[in-house]
Structure 1
């Protein structure tokens, strides 16, 4: 009888350790989040160049994520899946951009699809932006303009010519 009590205590401890590990590792999974347009390939395939126009595209695919500002008013539908690892920054895992191009009459010319492979990766060089000119320190920034503002007309007794700031 004594031996069976010892075995059940070991099982309880083992079960407690397994539950604790499951709870700890369960919090270490990435969070997946979908942002933007939900792509339905059947609806995208139903948009036909030469047949559809702006109104029929909006009825089929919905309102675009944005419309181009220059040139022809193309429609863009943007879809992203973002993964956020524990204690990390969100990263785009999947991205789809649908571009519906129109002719000047508003009829569909083509439907283009781009993925995350077509995204340009930009790596900034550092925390500062290089500029032309000399480097100024903190004290020079604070006190460098003392005596500079309005110095041309001060103390000479001359009046500025022309109308003042209010036109008089």
Structure 2
């Protein structure tokens, strides 16, 4: 028996294949993300060392991304641009850090700009804190209390 193709059947298949292929391609495009606060260069230039104060800085840039742990007089504004492809680890495209140091009266003493090249990779230490006692297997955990209690100590009610 001969197969007779239906008119327009191949063009529908091509259109569906093209739509599916286009959908797959869009899933492979990277996602660009902006995190944090990247101040405009014009605003940074308007900071006057020895004259600008904390209130003026907050009015220009908002609250800082971080304040130094031990030196409360250092404020950090951190902004990062990343690119991520599907489920892969994001890649840092750009990182800018604005460090503003104040004196005890809250007047700007230093303005410093840092970028991705100024950063350092921190190596994570993979250690475990030892605990006292022994580690129980699943079977020991399930059967651990069997036989520890007798019915003579109480009636079993809560």
**CA contact 1:80–1:96 (8 Å) conserved in 2:** yes
User: In 2 relative to 1, CA 124–69 (structure 1 residues): closer, same or farther, beyond 3 Å?
Assistant: closer
Q: Quote how far apart the aligned CAs of 1:115 are.
A: 0.9
User: In 2 relative to 1, CA 63–130 (structure 1 residues): closer, same or farther, beyond 3 Å?
Assistant: closer
Q: Quote how far apart the aligned CAs of 1:20 are.
A: 1.6
* Residue number in structure 2 paired with 1:31: 31
Relative to the length of structure 1, the TM-score reads 0.63
Relative to the length of structure 2, the TM-score reads 0.67
Mapped pair 1:55 → 2:55: yes
User: In 2 relative to 1, CA 43–24 (structure 1 residues): closer, same or farther, beyond 3 Å?
Assistant: same
Q: Quote how far apart the aligned CAs of 1:10 are.
A: 4.6
Once the two structures are superposed, residues 13-45 of structure 1 have per-residue CA deviations (whole angstroms, 9 ceiling, x without a partner) of 433322221110101122222211142222222
The CA distance in 2 between the partners of 1:9 and 1:117, in whole Å, is 57
Unaligned runs of 5+ in 2: 1-5, 137-158
**CA contact 1:53–1:106 (8 Å) conserved in 2:** yes
Task: Give 3-state SS (helix, strand or coil) of 2:122's partner.
Answer: coil
* Residue number in structure 2 paired with 1:115: 115
Of structures 1 and 2, the larger Rg is shown by 1
**CA contact 2:28–2:86 (8 Å) conserved in 1:** yes
Unaligned runs of 5+ in 1: 144-168
The CA distance in 1 between the partners of 2:70 and 2:101, in whole Å, is 13
Q: What are the equivalent positions in structure 2 for 1:87-166 lying under 5 Å apart?
A: 87-124=87-124, 128-129=126-127, 141-142=134-135
* Residue number in structure 2 paired with 1:81: 81
Q: Quote how far apart the aligned CAs of 1:104 are.
A: 2.8
Q: Over the residues paired in the alignment, what is the CA RMSD in angstroms?
A: 2.8
Which range is displaced more, 101-110 or 9-18? 9-18
Once the two structures are superposed, residues 112-147 of structure 1 have per-residue CA deviations (whole angstroms, 9 ceiling, x without a partner) of 11111112123457xx4289xxx9xxxx8348xxxx
